[in-house]
């Protein structure tokens, strides 16, 4: 394999630079919200207009992450040689991210964390039931559990796609592992990661205190539609 940097069109080069900066910055949000420890967890972002994505390097401290050491990969998880960061190994979850991008073209960002309460639900192999309105808003129902899968190949990615394809939730709890979230872009996927830990904690505490009260499905549907299609929009945007 050649170590020479490939030549991309100017617009793709510009898009890569934007995604590198965004992905590097968003890792700081995982730290800020207490979703990761040490070097665990990762954010990736699809490069618009190209069959490429950007992901963090493996085993690098969050304090040392920068746009220039993010790693550019093709949609099979192969590092693009000769590009900044290509001398490092990409995240151990790279194959999983790549599988999601290949099979869910609407996805522009993928996040994995080891956030405490979400991992606790994953350790039990139990979905998080939709019993609070914020969860209906954001996820449109329960947060499902994906199958147990070994890290290193695309098994985790297969489990993510099989579980989330056709599902409203943008989060899946991979059994015995932890949460993965998807989004329209990396920021959207990070938001989902923050929210899944928030609801995992709240529902856990509620269940410890007593029985949970289900939200009727019709109300879940209404809440989800309002939040996704009306909330935060101007009157003109609703027309």
* Active-site amino acid positions: 112, 114, 137, 177, 231
What CA–CA distance (Å, rounded) separates 156 from 161? Answer: 9
Which of 127, 120, 129 is CA-nearest to residue 176? 120
What CA–CA distance (Å, rounded) separates 179 from 119? Answer: 7
CB atoms within 10 A of CB 51: 12
b/e map of 110-147 (b: 16 or more CB within 10 Å)? bbbbbbebbbebbeeeebbbbbbeebbbbbbbbbbbbb
């Amino acid at each position: 394999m050649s170590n020479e940097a490939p030549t991309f069109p100017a617009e793709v080069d510009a898009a890569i630079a934007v995604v590198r900066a965004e992905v590097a910055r968003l890792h700081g949000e995982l730290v800020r919200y207490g979703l990761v420890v040490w070097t665990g967890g990762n954010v990736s972002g699809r490069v618009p207009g190209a069959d490429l994505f950007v992901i963090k390097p493996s085993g690098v401290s969050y304090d040392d992450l920068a746009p220039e050491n993010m790693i550019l990969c093709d949609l099979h998880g192969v590092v693009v040689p000769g590009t900044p960061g290509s001398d490092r190994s990409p995240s151990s979850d790279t194959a999983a991210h790549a599988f999601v991008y290949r099979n869910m073209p609407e996805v522009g960002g993928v996040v994995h964390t080891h956030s405490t309460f979400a991992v606790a639900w994953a350790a039990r192999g139990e979905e998080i039931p939709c019993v609070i309105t914020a969860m209906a808003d954001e996820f449109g129902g329960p947060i499902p559990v994906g199958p147990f899968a070994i890290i290193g190949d695309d098994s985790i990615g297969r489990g993510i796609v099989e579980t989330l394809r056709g599902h409203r939730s943008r989060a899946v709890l991979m059994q015995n592992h932890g949460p993965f979230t998807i989004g329209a872009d990396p920021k959207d996927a990070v938001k989902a990661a923050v929210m899944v830990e928030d609801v995992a904690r709240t529902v856990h505490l509620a269940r410890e205190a007593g029985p949970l009260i289900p939200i009727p499905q019709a109300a879940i549907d209404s809440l989800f539609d309002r939040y996704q299609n009306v909330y935060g929009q101007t009157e003109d945007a609703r027309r």
